[in-house]
Structure formats: structure tokens, C-alpha cells
């Protein structure tokens, strides 16, 4: 269930209408400033991200989406004998913004705007009209219960640096068939 949450968030951030690149176009900017396109990587499709590493030969700037934690309920049998159990969990998904050429003023400016676009895109996923985008493979994310934005002070090498991250907490449910 937890990795379905990662995939849902990563797919949302890559969405051509509501994802970070589209939202970045509407972020207010100072005159002359630009915002580059971002590539989305996640631990369900990229082995290096799953191993808490940065994609080699990746396109940067990038957002790396991975699971921070998951706390599962034991599940409650459905009230009617359907042969199913509803399982709940609280998951925290991290969307980590990584920039290249971190020594430049331009990279610092890009990070400022992209973190704002990242946060705003994640907020859009909470809209009640987006329930279908928060559901896959029998797993449903409720609108987020919190979004924290913070700095990750870890140089990542290869002229890459962390610009910050958003940690999103979701309550999830999954109906599992009992066999």
C-alpha cells in the first residue's frame, strides 16, 4: 500500500496540468527570472532512488519521491461477510528537490521557485475533485493531513545539492480480499 502512495504522488507531480512543471509557470517571479523544467523520479520505478541514491545521468533539477514511513492498522473485517478486510495506514511521502550546478546564484533562485511550485502542486492533489488521482490498485489516499517543507542539508555530490523537500502525510485505506 505504501508504495502505491509513492507512485500516486510521483504521477501527480508529473501531471501535465497540475504537476510541478505546469504549476511552476504560474509561480510569481521577479523580472528576468526563469524556472527550468523538473524531472520526476520515484522509488517504484528507479532502483537508485529506491536505494536512497541519486539517479546517475539523471536530468536535473529533479524531484525524487520516496516513502519516509508507514504505520499500518491491523485492519477491520468488513461489517458484512464479504471476505475482505479494510486496512488503514498513515504514510509519509517525501518529495525531495535536487539541483545541479549548486554553486551558482541561478540554481539558488531556481530552488526558491521550484520549492514553491512543488508545495502548490501537492496542495492541488488535496482537492476533493481529485479523488480519482489519489486512488489506484484498491488504495485510496485521503487528502493530506499535513505538508511540511524543510531543508535537507546534505551535499549529494556530482555537483548536485538538495534544495529542500516536502514531506506529505496521508491517511490511506485498502480493501484486501481474505483468502
* Cα torsion through 85, 178, 136, 43, rounded to 10: 100
Check residue 168 and give its pLDDT: 96
Question: Is the Cα dihedral 100, 92, 136, 1 positive or negative?
Answer: positive
Check residue 39 and give its pLDDT: 96
Check residue 85 and give its pLDDT: 75
Collect the ranges in the chain with pLDDT lower than 70.
Answer: 1, 74-82, 102-103, 152-158, 179
Tens digits of residue pLDDT in 93-105 = 999 999 887 667 7
Amino acid at each position: 500500500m505504501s508504495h502505491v502512495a509513492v507512485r500516486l504522488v510521483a504521477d501527480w507531480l508529473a501531471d501535465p496540468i497540475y504537476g510541478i512543471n505546469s504549476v511552476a509557470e504560474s509561480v510569481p517571479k521577479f523580472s528576468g527570472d526563469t524556472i527550468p523544467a523538473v524531472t520526476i523520479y520515484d522509488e517504484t520505478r528507479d532502483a537508485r532512488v529506491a536505494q536512497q541514491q541519486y539517479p546517475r545521468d539523471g536530468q536535473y533539477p529533479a524531484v525524487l519521491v520516496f516513502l519516509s514511513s508507514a504505520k499500518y492498522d491491523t485492519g477491520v473485517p468488513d461489517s458484512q461477510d464479504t471476505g475482505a478486510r479494510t486496512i488503514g495506514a498513515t504514510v509519509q511521502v517525501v518529495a525531495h528537490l535536487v539541483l545541479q550546478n549548486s554553486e551558482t546564484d541561478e540554481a539558488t533562485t531556481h530552488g526558491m521557485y521550484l520549492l514553491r511550485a512543488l508545495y502548490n502542486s501537492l496542495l492541488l492533489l488535496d482537492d476533493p475533485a481529485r479523488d480519482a488521482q489519489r486512488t489506484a490498485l484498491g488504495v485510496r489516499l485521503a487528502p493530506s493531513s499535513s505538508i511540511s517543507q524543510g531543508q535537507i542539508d546534505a551535499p549529494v555530490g556530482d555537483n548536485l545539492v538538495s534544495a529542500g523537500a516536502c514531506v506529505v502525510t496521508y491517511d490511506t485505506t485498502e480493501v484486501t480480499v481474505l483468502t
